[in-house]
């Protein structure tokens, strides 16, 4: 009997020490093993043909592992290696046409470095709400053979940090059969769901390098005007904010220097938020959960942002299944979600992921936050879509109908406030005629007459602000 018990204990010990991958494991729970420290060329040899490889994205993209993987795939003549990931920073050499037989990228959200490959058919894209991506891993729809991650150096207890990008990475490493980590002294140690004990890492590669820096473009007058309109007319003191990256979000944040006690519950954290924290505008004091702390899922910016994240208990980097869950978002006080659009039709449909039939980025978290803010439990949430009235070519972003093949990222019913440099259109509770009238009034003056004619043809009557 005692031998049987001893055998069972031994089996259980081996079960945990090997980190069996068909169950959800807890990355912060130390195991009885150590990572194998190897050079990058040896680390990528674990990849074989037809493997499914998860790659951590954003500013935490493990660029040295990606480079070595590409070279290994070519030299070893690997076939049909699938790479699944969020948007990646830096180069994506595996997506070159000549490597199509070796690699196939699968994006949850498409970065600039993979748009051409996706639209040329050499890479794939999964349309999905960001808050549902971790579910693909947790429910075994996707089980990576290998996960490539980018972590901080271990502390004295052996704990590393996923740093700037938790998003769906935590879910992926809970299910991956093998974990390969690029270990970097430049990766900040963040609080939240970013903890991984080094014992969960199978192969570790030491490679110190600065994280990719993403800087915004100089703000134009139109960006500044939109930022002022949103800040002055729609953002209240004590509001909880969600914004993305780009000129419009930067302009809005720059216009909030006189606001008080703002909170942040967002998908992406950027440099401009750091300035508002230092200036005392962002305090998070009114949030019922995570009081006093910024909540984000990833951070992309410059060294200023990465330095702010490092060992900062006032910031939590959490998984997208939490940050982007509309039910969680709805609990934030005065939740104010601000997103953008490629184009919008005169009834309020938003296309944010494509240029006609060409995929541009992805569904992302826009609808997660538009819906979460609209159903805010305090009844004071705001869902906002803000964009310049015209494209860089001078075409109106407000169109009679969406371009043929364009995806509807947010329906007419999801959009409440629309902002251009010409003002705010409040669409909530409006008829189709009232919506058309409100949107035409904030369109560029050069396009309003054409939009009125198109609205009459489509609606069979003139757009009007009256019922």
With a cut of 50, list the residues of the chain below it in pLDDT: 1-22
Residues 350, 363 contacting (CB under 8 angstroms): no
Distance of CA 200 to the CA centre of its chain: 25
Tokens for 411? 């329906």
Whether 267 sits among the annotated catalytic residues: the reply is yes
Tokens for 176? 């991956």
Residue 12: per-residue pLDDT: 37
Domains of the chain: 13-206 (3.40.1080.10), 221-459 (3.40.1080.20)
Residue 215: per-residue pLDDT: 85
State the CB neighbour count (10 A cutoff) for residue 456.
14
d(CA 224, CA 415): 22
pTM summary value = 0.92
Q: Which residue in 89, 267, 316, 343 is the catalytic one?
A: 267
State the CB neighbour count (10 A cutoff) for residue 83.
28
d(CA 1, CA 235): 69
Residue 16: per-residue pLDDT: 37
Residue 28: per-residue pLDDT: 86
**Adjacency order of strands within the sheet including 103-107:** 36-37, 203-206, 178-183, 146-151, 52-55, 81-85, 103-107, 124-125
Residues 280, 305 contacting (CB under 8 angstroms): no
Continuous segment of H or E residues that includes residue 452? helix 445-459
Residue 23: per-residue pLDDT: 57
């Amino acid at each position: 009997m005692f031998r049987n018990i001893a055998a069972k204990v031994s089996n259980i010990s081996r079960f945990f020490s090997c980190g069996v991958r068909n169950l959800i494991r807890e990355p912060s729970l130390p195991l009885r093993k150590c990572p194998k420290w190897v050079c990058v060329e040896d680390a990528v040899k674990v990849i074989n043909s037809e493997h499914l490889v998860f790659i951590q994205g954003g500013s935490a993209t493990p660029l040295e592992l990606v480079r070595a993987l590409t070279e290994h795939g070519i030299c070893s003549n690997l076939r049909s290696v699938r790479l699944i990931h969020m948007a990646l920073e830096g180069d994506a050499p595996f997506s070159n046409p000549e490597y199509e037989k070796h690699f196939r990228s699968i994006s949850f959200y498409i970065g600039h470095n993979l748009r051409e490959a996706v639209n040329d058919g050499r890479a794939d894209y999964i349309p999905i709400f960001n808050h549902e991506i971790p579910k693909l891993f947790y429910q075994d729809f996707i089980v990576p053979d290998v996960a490539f991650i980018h972590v901080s150096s271990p502390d004295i207890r052996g704990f590393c940090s996923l740093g700037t990008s938790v998003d769906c990475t935590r879910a992926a490493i809970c299910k991956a059969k093998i974990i390969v980590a690029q270990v970097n002294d430049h990766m900040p140690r963040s609080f939240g769901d970013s903890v991984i004990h080094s014992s969960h890492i199978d192969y570790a590669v030491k490679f110190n390098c600065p994280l990719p820096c993403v800087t915004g473009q100089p703000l134009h007058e139109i960006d500044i005007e939109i930022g002022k309109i949103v800040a002055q007319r729609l953002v209240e003191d004590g509001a909880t904010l969600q914004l993305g990256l780009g000129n419009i979000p930067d302009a809005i944040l720059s216009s909030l220097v006189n606001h008080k006690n703002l909170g942040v519950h967002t998908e992406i954290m950027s440099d401009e938020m750091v300035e508002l924290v230092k200036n005392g505008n962002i305090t998070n004091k009114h949030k019922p959960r995570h009081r006093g702390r910024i909540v984000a899922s990833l951070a992309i910016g410059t060294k200023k942002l990465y330095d702010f994240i490092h060992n900062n208990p006032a910031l939590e980097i959490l998984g997208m299944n939490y940050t982007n869950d509309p039910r969680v978002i709805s609990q934030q006080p005065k939740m104010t979600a601000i997103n953008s659009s490629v184009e919008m039709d005169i009834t309020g449909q938003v296309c944010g992921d494509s240029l006609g039939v060409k995929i541009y980025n992805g569904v992302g978290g826009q609808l997660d936050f538009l819906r979460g803010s609209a159903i805010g439990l305090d009844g004071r949430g705001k869902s906002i879509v803000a964009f310049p009235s015209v494209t860089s070519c001078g075409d109106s972003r407000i169109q009679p109908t969406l371009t043929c093949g364009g995806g509807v990222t947010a329906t007419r019913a999801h959009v409440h406030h629309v902002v251009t440099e010409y003002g705010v259109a409040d669409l909530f509770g409006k008829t189709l005629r009232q919506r058309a009238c409100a949107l035409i009034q904030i369109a560029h003056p050069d396009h309003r007459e054409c939009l009125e004619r198109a609205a009459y043809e489509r609606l069979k009557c003139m757009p009007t602000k009256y019922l």
